[in-house]
Structure 1
Amino acid sequence: MRVVILGGGFGGLEAARALARAPVEVTLIDRQNHHLFQPLLYQVATAALSPGDIAWPVRTVFRRQRNVTVVMAEATGIDTAARVVRAGDTLSFPYDALLLATGATHSYFGRDEWAPVAPGLKTIEDATDIRRRLLLAFERAEVTNDEAERRRLLTFVVVGGGPTGVELAGAMVELARHAMPREFRRIDPAMARIVLVEAGPRVLPTFPEDLSAVALRSLERMGVQVRTGTRVTHCGPDGVECGDERIGASTIVWAAGVVASPAGAWIDAERDRQGRITVGADLSVPGRPGVFAVGDLVAATDGHGRPVPGNAPAAKQMGRYVGRLLAARAKGRPAPPPFAYRHHGDLATIGRRSAVVELGSIRLTGLIGWWFWGIAHIYYLVGFRSRVVVSFEWLWSYLTFQRGARLITGREPRGGNAVPVPGQVRVPDQGRALGEGAQHKHQQPAPAALRAG
C-alpha cells in the first residue's frame, strides 16, 4: 500500500509515525526540509529563542523509520482520477491513499496588499523577518534626531487578539523593558509603545470570558495598549488606520486570521468560506476515494457537532487517527470508529510570570498558569535535545532578563517600513512569493503551500 503525505507539520508527522509498523510505503513531501513547532514561533520573532531550537530536519525525525521516504519538493498537481501527485517538472508519486496536511496561511480578508508591511507569523522566515524589523527599529531610533520619527520607530502594532497576538504583544514588552535597558545611550527602550488591535469585543475570544478578562488586565498592567472593538482599515509603511484614528508605527505584525491552503481547490473538493475542506467522519474527502485531509486544512467536528479548533493538538489527533485507519486497512483489520476530537484545554502566555490556562473546569492564571504553560510546551517539543535547550534558554532569560537570539540578519524588511540608518546603503528588497496562486481543478497544476497545521 502506497501512502503519500503532503505536509510535514503536526498532522503529517503524526500520521507517518502511526504507520511505523504498518505494511505500507510512506512518501512524505514538503517544500521545506524541517518540521516547525509553530506555537513557539513568536519567541523566535521576539529574540527569546533561535530557529534551531524549535525546528528539526524531517529526515532526522524519520531516520529510524524505514518505511518513510522524505522528499523535499513542491507539489505542482494532483490527479485524483489517476491517483498521482506531481512535483516539479518530472517527479510523480502514485498513491493508494493520499493525506493532505498542508495547513493554513495568513488571511488579510481581501487586502493582500498589506502583506509586505504587516507580515504574519507562520514560518521561520516570517519570524526572523519580524525579529529584524523589531531590532532595527530600536537601532534606528537610537540614531535619529527627529523626535516624531523616534516615537514612530518605537511604536509597534499587533493586529489580532487571539493567542498569537496576545503572546506576541507580551513578548514585545518583555524584550523592550527587560532585555534592552542600559544598552542604548540616546533612547530608553522601555518607552516603546505596543498596541494590540482586536476587531472583536475581547481578546482571546475562544477562551472563557473570565480568562479573557484576566488576559486583558495582565496586558494592560504590562503597558500594552489594547484596542478591542477596533477594526484596522488600512496598513501602510508608516503605520495603521483604525477608522478615523491613525497610529504611526515602524512595525506591524498580522495575527488577525488564517485561510486554508489551496489544497481543497487542487482536488475540487467542497470547501467553506475559509477554504477548509469538508470531510467525513473518518476525515476522508467525499467524492475523492483514498483522499484524507487533516489539521487547519479541514472543517471537522468533534463527534458532538462542535467544530474542531485549528491548533496543534487537533492536527496531531487527526493525523494519528488517519495513520491508524490506514494501518488497519493495510493489515486487513476493521477500521477504527469515527474520529472524535478530545479537547485538552487552551493555553496562552502573557509575558513574564503570567498565563491563562483552561482545562475543562480547571482554570489556572498568573504564575501557576505560566509554569503549566511552559511545562506543556516543553513536553510537546520534538526530541530530548530541544527540550533541554529550550528549558535552559527560558531559565537563563528568567534569571538574567537577557535574550540570546538578538541577531539582525538577512536583507532589508520586505515592506521597507523603517527609515535607513544615516550612511547606510539601502539595497532594494527582492522579497518572497507570498501568494498561493490561483485555484485550479483537480487535474490541473496548482502551486503548493506545504506547511501543515
Structure 2
Amino acid sequence: MEQNHHVVVVGGGFGGLELVNDLRGAPVRITLIDRRNHHLFQPLLYQVATTILATSEIAWPIRHLYRDRPEVMTLLGEVQGVDRLTKTVTLANGQAVPYDTLVLATGATHAYFGRDEWAPVAPGLKTLEDATTIRRRVLLAFEQAEIEEDPARRDALLTFTIIGAGPTGVELAGIIAEMAHRTLPGEFRRIDTRQSRVVLVEAGPRILPAFAEELSAYAMTELGKLGVEVLTGTPVTDCTEAGVRIGDSFVPSRTLVWAAGVQASPAANWLGIVADRAGRAIVDQHLTAPGNPDVFVIGDTASVKQENGTPVPGIAPAAKQQGAFVARVIRARLAGQPMPKAFRYRHQGSLATIGKRAAIIDFGRIKLKGGLAWWIWGIAHIYFLIGTRSRFAVAWSWLWIFLSGQHSARLITQKETHRREE
C-alpha cells in the first residue's frame, strides 16, 4: 500500500468525505487531515444552537467513519501552508506531509466585512463550538432577564438580533421566536418570554435572496406570524455588547448572531493563485488550481463558474458533487483513461425552514411552501445524515418537539472566558 498513489485530502466536510468515499477500491492510499476530529452536518447546526438537537446527533468522529478502510489515515492537525515544489503540506506542528495528489476542501468561516472586532459580540455559526456558544447566550439571556431589576436592561436581554437573512438567519430567527413565544412561557415567574423581540436584519431588499420572490414573500409572512421583526434595506453599522446599530438607529440587544457572510479558508494564499472577493480560490473547469494539475480545490474553498456564468453556490450538495467529480478524475488519471468532461453542477433545489411547521423549497420549475415542504425538508435531511442511530435520534427529537412543543437540548454547559456574564 505504501507504493500506491498518495492522495492527501485537507478537510473532512461534505466535499472531502465524498471524495474519500468515492475512492474506495482505487489503487491509492489516502491521508485525511482536519483540525477537528469530527465531520459536521452543517445544515442542521442551527438546531443545535437553538436547543432542538444535541451535538452528538449531527457530528461523527472521522476515525470511526473510516475504521474499515485501512488505506485511509486520519490526522488531527491544522494546515499552515503548501509547498508545490516539494509537493508537501505543512502542519502547525511542523510536520510535512508529502502528496502525489492534493485536494483542498477546507471550507469557509465568518466574514465581517473588515469589522472583525464584531466577532466576540456577534458570533457566526460554522462549528459546534459556535452553536453551543449561541445556545448558551440565548438561554442565559432568559435566565438573566428573570433576575434583572432594571426594565431597560431586561428588555435588552430579551431582544435577540440575527444579522443576515439567508437560510441560516431565517431558520435561527424562526426557532428562537418559537422558543420564546411557545416553548418557554410558563417556565419563568418574573418575566413573560412572549414579550421577547427577535429582530432579523438584512442589508438587501428582501430576505432569502437566492429563492424566488414568491417564496421569499411567504417566508416574510410566516416570520411575522412567529413575531419576528424583519428589517430589510439597511445595513448594520456597529455591533457592541449593548446592542446593534442598524443604519442610524440603535437597537439595545444583548444577544447578537452573525449570519451575513462567509470568508473562504486561505487555500488560495497557500497556492499563490488568484482568489475572488470572498477569498475562494479560482479554479478551472476540472477543479484544479491553475498551473497545479495535481492540486484540486473544492467546496466553499473553490470558485468555479456554472454554464450561465454564475458561481457554483457554496452549499453541501455542490461540495459533494465536486468531491465525486475529483474522485472520477483521479481514477481516470491512474487508469490512463480520458479525463471526464468539465465539472457541471446539477442544482438539486434550495430549502429553508421557517419555524417547525413551515418551509420553502425551490426546485426551479417546482416550488413548494408550507407544511408539505416542511415534511419534505425533514425527510431529505434525515436521509443525508450518517448512520441509522443519527437518523433515528433526529427523527425522534423532531417528532417529540412537533407533538409536545418542548426542546430537549436546553442545557447551559460552557462558560466563556472572554465575555463578562452579569
Q: Which TM-score tier does this pair reach, normalised by the shorter chain?
A: over 0.9
Residue equivalent to 2:12: 8
Residue 267, structure 1, aligned to residue 275, structure 2: no
Deviation at 1:334, TM superposition (A): 2.2
Please say if residues 133 and 413 of structure 1, whose CA atoms lie closer than 8 Å, have aligned partners that are also in contact.
no
Residue equivalent to 2:389: 385
Residue equivalent to 1:225: 229
Please say if residues 237 and 415 of structure 1, whose CA atoms lie closer than 8 Å, have aligned partners that are also in contact.
no
Residue 198, structure 1, aligned to residue 202, structure 2: yes
Residue equivalent to 1:425: none
Total equivalences in the alignment: 418
Q: 1:324-354 deviations in whole A, cap 9, x for unaligned?
A: 2112222222222111100010000000211
> What pairs up with 1:318-337 in 2 under 5 angstroms?
318-337=322-341
Residue 23, structure 1, aligned to residue 33, structure 2: no
Q: 1:58-107 deviations in whole A, cap 9, x for unaligned?
A: 11111122221111111122101110012133422111110000011100
| Seq. identity, % | 55
> What pairs up with 1:152-163 in 2 under 5 angstroms?
152-163=156-167
Q: Distance in 2 between matches of 1:215 and 1:99?
A: 38
RCO comparison, higher one (Cα < 8 Å, 6+): 1
Q: 1:276-305 deviations in whole A, cap 9, x for unaligned?
A: 111111100011230000011111123443
Please say if residues 3 and 97 of structure 1, whose CA atoms lie closer than 8 Å, have aligned partners that are also in contact.
yes
Counterpart amino acid of residue 122 in structure 2: A
Deviation at 1:266, TM superposition (A): 1.1
Q: Secondary structure at the match of 1:289?
A: strand
Q: Distance in 2 between matches of 1:334 and 1:46?
A: 49
Please say if residues 22 and 331 of structure 1, whose CA atoms lie closer than 8 Å, have aligned partners that are also in contact.
no
Q: Distance in 1 between matches of 2:324 and 2:341?
A: 13
RMSD: 1.1
Residue equivalent to 1:451: none
Q: Distance in 2 between matches of 1:115 and 1:190?
A: 28
Counterpart amino acid of residue 309 in structure 1: P
Q: Secondary structure at the match of 2:310?
A: coil
Counterpart amino acid of residue 146 in structure 2: E
Q: Secondary structure at the match of 1:127?
A: helix
Residue equivalent to 2:106: 102
Please say if residues 49 and 405 of structure 1, whose CA atoms lie closer than 8 Å, have aligned partners that are also in contact.
yes
Change over 3 Å in CA distance of 1:47–1:183 after alignment to 2: same
Q: 1:186-218 deviations in whole A, cap 9, x for unaligned?
A: 111121100000000000001111111111111
Q: Distance in 2 between matches of 1:138 and 1:170?
A: 17
> What pairs up with 1:29-40 in 2 under 5 angstroms?
29-40=33-44
Gaps of 5+ in 2: none
Q: Distance in 2 between matches of 1:414 and 1:195?
A: 25
Residue equivalent to 2:214: 210
Mean Cα deviation higher: 316-325 or 301-310: 301-310
- Aligned partner of 1:249 among 234, 238, 253: 253
Gaps of 5+ in 1: 421-453
Q: Secondary structure at the match of 1:353?
A: coil
Q: Distance in 2 between matches of 1:329 and 1:19?
A: 13
Counterpart amino acid of residue 253 in structure 2: A
- Aligned partner of 2:185 among 181, 186, 192: 181
- Aligned partner of 1:317 among 303, 316, 321: 321
Deviation at 1:374, TM superposition (A): 0.6
Residue equivalent to 1:308: 312
Please say if residues 117 and 414 of structure 1, whose CA atoms lie closer than 8 Å, have aligned partners that are also in contact.
no
Q: 1:17-40 deviations in whole A, cap 9, x for unaligned?
A: 111110001100001000000010
Please say if residues 85 and 92 of structure 1, whose CA atoms lie closer than 8 Å, have aligned partners that are also in contact.
yes
Counterpart amino acid of residue 301 in structure 1: K
Q: 1:207-254 deviations in whole A, cap 9, x for unaligned?
A: 111111111111111110000001100000010001221000010000
Q: Distance in 1 between matches of 2:236 and 2:92?
A: 39
Residue 400, structure 1, aligned to residue 404, structure 2: yes
- Aligned partner of 2:303 among 299, 315, 324: 299
Residue equivalent to 2:149: 145
Residue 351, structure 1, aligned to residue 340, structure 2: no
> What pairs up with 1:56-71 in 2 under 5 angstroms?
56-71=60-75
Counterpart amino acid of residue 393 in structure 1: S
Change over 3 Å in CA distance of 1:259–1:179 after alignment to 2: same
Q: Distance in 2 between matches of 1:230 and 1:45?
A: 26
Q: Secondary structure at the match of 1:234?
A: strand
